[in-house]
């Protein structure tokens, strides 16, 4: 686990990982929004860049280019700032404005391509990545993404579970699928029967029904079934769907009830994980993650007073 506390470091990248595991409403949630740059994606950004450096694919002066719905862009921008690379984030319009601003805050350039879904950005980033002096990590295809989750995040969760407990189920939305597949592989080593549940928005049911439509669970269901998920699909037991409205409502409740200010995918993850607990009582240790911070959604959801919404009678 990373040396997050108690020691002096010269790099914020040493604070990636080592996040808390909370038990909430009968499920275990890994609090990944506490990572530097505000999301779980700090893990794969650091890992993929350091592996590329080891393999000689990335050299001083190079530019990193990546297609993203935002969080990986923010995370890679942070890593690029620390390590002195130039960063070009290729992302669709129509996602939270904070995602764009945060990458720019880290000194990255942002190229807009497409709307909401990442399909067009993906093609553009891949093409740019083939130019001399550019490196495209390719998070949706990369086995390094899976590897980080199998070797680091998965074992971290296993070490944090109460003594004697092994995971019975893992419930996660699919952006790249790297977290579900990689953590799932780590869990299978301690419990071969652990059940893996993918979650997707009910409005854009891409894995189950091939639909691609608008939804508000930003960071998952980006407009295609990613290569990682396709390659490892046989590991996945089931696919659940959660509506965007339910995800956003649950996100707001998490902040007010537990002080956990996170994004819509966290709300959707909690709802889906609780549904698994209810529908499969034999699955007692159900694990999920709260992937990104709520500050990223201030303009979309939190700029209006919420007194009526929360039923706070003392304010009326
Ligand atoms: N939630 C959020 C907020 C995300 O940004 C992502 C990744 N884009 C995920 C969930 C899903 O993670 P993965 O890419 O590992 O499937």
Contact of 283 with 27, CB cutoff 8 Å: no
Q: 69 alpha carbon to ligand 1 midpoint, in Å?
A: 9
CATH number, residue 207: 3.40.50.1100
Q: Which of 196, 217, 291, when mutated, tests ligand 1's pocket best, judged by the most ligand atoms within 8 Å of its CB?
A: 291
- Residue 311 forms part of a structural domain: no
Half-sphere exposure of residue 265, counting CA atoms within 13 Å on the CB side?
28
30, 41, 46, 274: the active-site residue:
41
ipTM above 0.95, yes or no: yes
Query: Does one domain contain both 156 and 280?
Result: yes
Query: Does one domain contain both 263 and 248?
Result: yes
Q: What domain count does the chain have? A: 2
Query: Does one domain contain both 62 and 93?
Result: yes
Question: Mean pLDDT over residues 24-53, rounded?
Answer: 98
Query: Does one domain contain both 230 and 253?
Result: yes
Question: Mean pLDDT over residues 218-223, rounded?
Answer: 95
Whole-number Å distance between alpha carbons of 70 and 291: 12
- Residue 62 forms part of a structural domain: yes
Any ligand 1 atom below 6 A from CB of 58: no
Query: Does one domain contain both 208 and 264?
Result: yes
Q: What pLDDT, on the 0 to 100 scale, is given for residue 39?
A: 98
Question: Mean pLDDT over residues 209-238, rounded?
Answer: 96
Report percent pLDDT > 90 for the chain. 92
Asked if pLDDT for residue 88 goes beyond 70, the answer is yes
Asked if pLDDT for residue 308 goes beyond 70, the answer is no
Half-sphere exposure of residue 161, counting CA atoms within 13 Å on the CB side?
20
- Residue 2 forms part of a structural domain: no
| 306 confidence band (pLDDT: 50, 70, 90) | low
Q: What pLDDT, on the 0 to 100 scale, is given for residue 311?
A: 46
Q: What pLDDT, on the 0 to 100 scale, is given for residue 304?
A: 79
Query: Does one domain contain both 17 and 161?
Result: yes
Q: 96 alpha carbon to ligand 1 midpoint, in Å?
A: 15
Whole-number Å distance between alpha carbons of 127 and 2: 35
Residue-wise DSSP of 57-74: S--TT-EEEEE-SSHHHH
Asked if pLDDT for residue 78 goes beyond 60, the answer is yes
Query: Does one domain contain both 228 and 289?
Result: yes
Half-sphere exposure of residue 114, counting CA atoms within 13 Å on the CB side?
18
Any ligand 1 atom below 6 A from CB of 291: yes
- Catalytic, 221? Answer no
Q: How many CB atoms lie within 10 A of CB 314?
A: 5
Q: What pLDDT, on the 0 to 100 scale, is given for residue 313?
A: 47
Q: What pLDDT, on the 0 to 100 scale, is given for residue 272?
A: 98
Q: What pLDDT, on the 0 to 100 scale, is given for residue 6?
A: 74
Query: Does one domain contain both 66 and 100?
Result: yes
Any ligand 1 atom below 6 A from CB of 69: yes
Q: What pLDDT, on the 0 to 100 scale, is given for residue 312?
A: 46
Q: What pLDDT, on the 0 to 100 scale, is given for residue 3?
A: 53
Question: Mean pLDDT over residues 77-100, rounded?
Answer: 96
Last residue of a domain, one of 135, 163, 189: 135
State the residue range of the domain holding 79: 41-135
Q: 91 alpha carbon to ligand 1 midpoint, in Å?
A: 15
Q: Which of 75, 176, 287, when mutated, tests ligand 1's pocket best, judged by the most ligand atoms within 8 Å of its CB?
A: 176
Taking only the tens place, the pLDDT of each residue in 92-141 is 998 889 999 999 999 999 999 999 899 999 999 999 999 999 999 999 99
Q: Which two tokens stand for residue 304?
A: 């209006």
| 7 confidence band (pLDDT: 50, 70, 90) | confident
Any ligand 1 atom below 6 A from CB of 264: no
Residue nearest to atom 8 of ligand 1 (CA): 219
Query: Does one domain contain both 190 and 238?
Result: yes
Query: Does one domain contain both 22 and 167?
Result: yes
Query: Does one domain contain both 55 and 170?
Result: no
Last residue of a domain, one of 118, 135, 152: 135
- Catalytic, 265? Answer yes
């Amino acid at each position: 686990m990373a040396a997050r506390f108690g020691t002096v470091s010269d790099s914020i990248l040493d604070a990636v990982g080592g996040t808390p595991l909370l038990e909430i409403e009968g499920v275990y949630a890994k609090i990944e929004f506490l990572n530097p740059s505000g999301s779980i994606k700090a893990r794969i950004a650091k890992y993929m860049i350091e592996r590329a450096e080891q393999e000689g694919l990335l050299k001083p002066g190079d530019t990193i280019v990546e297609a993203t719905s935002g969080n990986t862009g923010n995370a890679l921008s942070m890593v690029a700032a620390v390590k002195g690379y130039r960063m070009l984030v290729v992302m669709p319009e129509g996602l939270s404005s904070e995602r764009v601003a945060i990458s720019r805050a880290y000194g990255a350039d942002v190229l807009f391509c497409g709307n909401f879904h990442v399909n067009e950005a993906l093609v553009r980033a891949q093409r740019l990545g083939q130019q001399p002096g550019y490196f495209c990590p390719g998070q949706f295809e990369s086995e390094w993404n899976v590897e980080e989750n199998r070797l680091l995040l998965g074992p971290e969760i296993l070490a944090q579970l109460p003594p004697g407990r092994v995971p019975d189920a893992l419930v996660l939305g699919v952006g790249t699928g790297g977290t579900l597949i990689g953590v799932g592989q780590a869990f299978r080593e301690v419990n071969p029967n652990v059940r893996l549940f993918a979650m997707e928005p009910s409005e854009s049911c891409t894995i189950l029904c091939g639909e691609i439509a608008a939804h508000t669970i930003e960071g998952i269901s980006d407009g295609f079934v990613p290569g990682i998920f396709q390659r490892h699909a046989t590991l996945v037991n089931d696919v659940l769907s959660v509506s965007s409205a339910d995800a956003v409502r649950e996100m707001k409740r998490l902040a007010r009830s537990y002080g956990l200010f996170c994004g819509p995918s966290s709300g959707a993850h909690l709802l889906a994980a609780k549904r698994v607990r209810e529908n499969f009582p034999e699955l007692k240790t159900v694990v999920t993650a709260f992937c990104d911070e709520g500050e990223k959604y201030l303009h979309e959801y939190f700029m209006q007073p919420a007194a009526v919404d929360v039923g706070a009678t003392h304010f009326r």
